Structure 1
Amino acid sequence: MRLLLSAIALLLSAAPLYAAELRIDPVRSKAEFSVRLLWVTSVAGSFQGIRGDLTTDPATATAVVRADIDTENIQMESARLRRWVLAPEFFDAEHHPRIHFVSQATPLVLLSHGGEVTGELTIRGVTRPVTFRLLANRCPPESMAGCVLQLQGIIDRTDFGMLGRRGALSDRVNLGMAIVIEAM
């Protein structure tokens, strides 16, 4: 019996602890987008108040990022442009008030060294696979609290049902996120 209890204790001590839960700092994190208008200028906006979390799994040395952005939190140079991007032909904020991103399990080392992060992006209720480029930072993979994860990518807006003004507005939309990680 004593041998059995010792074996169980040894197995339990070798098992990984719970996954680390970190959250996205909604005050210091932001997302930005830009899209070319008439191939001359860009329409750009930024979102404040990203919410979400980063869950790390020590057993697999991976992390998953989940982020939500309220479309109403968009800031733009012009009130007219802001109304337009919130309208049904672009974000359709009334019916789809949130943009959601969830990454696939990403190696922890990639969070420090940079590389490609794949996941699913939901805009206007449409979910599509996406790949973002994660910029390298100086944070150790085992301790992400206080780190800034900078992601950049390009999506095709027509994949998400944004079909308006195709003659004047590019289909390619640049997306960027600066996510500040903090302990819960």
Structure 2
Amino acid sequence: MRHLLSAIVVLLAAAPVTAADLRIDPQRSRAQFSVRLLWVSTVTGSFEGIRGDIAIDPSTQSAIVRADIDTESIKMESSRLRRWVLAPEFFDAKRFPSIHFESSPTPLHLLSEGGDVKGKLTLRGVTQPVTFHLQANRCPPQALAGCVLQLQGMIDRTDFEMRGRRGALSDRVNLGMAIVLIPP
């Protein structure tokens, strides 16, 4: 038994110290979208319900970002437009209450230096590969708690079965997230 305990102590001492995973602060994080309407104006909205985490793998010096956005949490200037974007022809919030993003393993240095973050976006039950551009920030990769990660990207809404009002709306939808990281 004493040899077993000694072996466990040696294994634990040899194991790499792992960085703590981080959470997305739901109180201070936001996601937004915009789409051109009739090539004259832009419909915009901001989602206030966002949650998720960042899983850090110290052995590969990479991280995976996971974010869930509550579609019903959208805020817009017009209640009529809000009802429309939540309706079945756009976000279909009743059937699909959340939007999910999960990044591919991303180098930790990229979280500070900025660059392209690849991953998969699930919207309206359809999962597609996406690329978001992450803006550079001043946070070192070893101290990301308290940092704001700002991601911007563009999707083709028809890839997610959003085919309504094709004559009035652009197929290109801008998506962005500003996520504040906090300890678990």
TM-score, normalization by structure 1:
0.94
1:122 alignment partner in structure 2: 122
Match of 2:159 in 1: 159
* Partner residue in 2 for 1:22: 22
**1:170 and 2:170 matched:** yes
Task: Confirm or deny that 1:84 pairs with 2:84.
Answer: yes
What's the counterpart of residue 63 of structure 2? 63
The runs of at least 4 consecutive aligned structure 1 residues that moved more than 6 Å come to 5-8
**Cα RMSD over matched residues?**
1.9
**Structure 2 residue 34 is matched with structure 1 residue 45:** no
Distance in 2 (alpha carbons) for counterparts of 1:62 and 1:124: 29
Counterpart CA distance in 1 for 2:14 and 2:164 is: 56
CA 1:56/1:134 → structure 2, altered by over 3 Å: closer, same or farther? same
Partner Cα distance (1:20, 1:121) in 2: 25
Q: Aligned with 1:20: secondary structure?
A: coil
Per the TM alignment, residue 13 of structure 1 is displaced from its structure 2 partner at its CA by: 2.9
The range that moved more, 170-179 or 5-14, is 5-14
Q: How far off is 1:65 after superposition? A: 0.6
Q: Which amino acid aligns with 1:182?
A: I
Between the aligned partners of 2:86 and 2:48, the Cα distance in structure 1 is 15
Does 2:105 correspond to 1:102?
no
Distance 2:14 2:140 in 1: 23
1:121 and 1:80 mapped to 2: Cα distance? 27
Q: Which amino acid aligns with 2:142?
A: E
Partner of 1:113: 113
Aligned-pair distance for 1:19?
5.2
1:111 and 1:49 mapped to 2: Cα distance? 22
Name structure 2 gaps, 5 residues minimum.
none
The size of the alignment, in residue pairs, is 183
C-alpha distance in structure 2 between counterparts of 1:31 and 1:65, whole Å:
14
Contact 1:114 1:134 in 2 (8 A): yes
Tell me which amino acid in the other structure corresponds to 1:117.
V
Q: Which of 131-140 and 5-14 deviates more?
A: 5-14
Is the Cα–Cα contact under 8 Å of residues 52 and 68 in structure 1 kept in the other structure? Answer: yes
Deviations along 1:3-38, one digit per CA (max 9) or x if unpaired, are: xx9887665433223452110000100001000001
CA contact (8 A) 1:35 1:169 kept: yes
Task: Using structure 2 for the length normalisation, give the TM-score.
Answer: 0.94
Q: Is the 8 A contact 1:20 1:57 kept in 2?
A: no
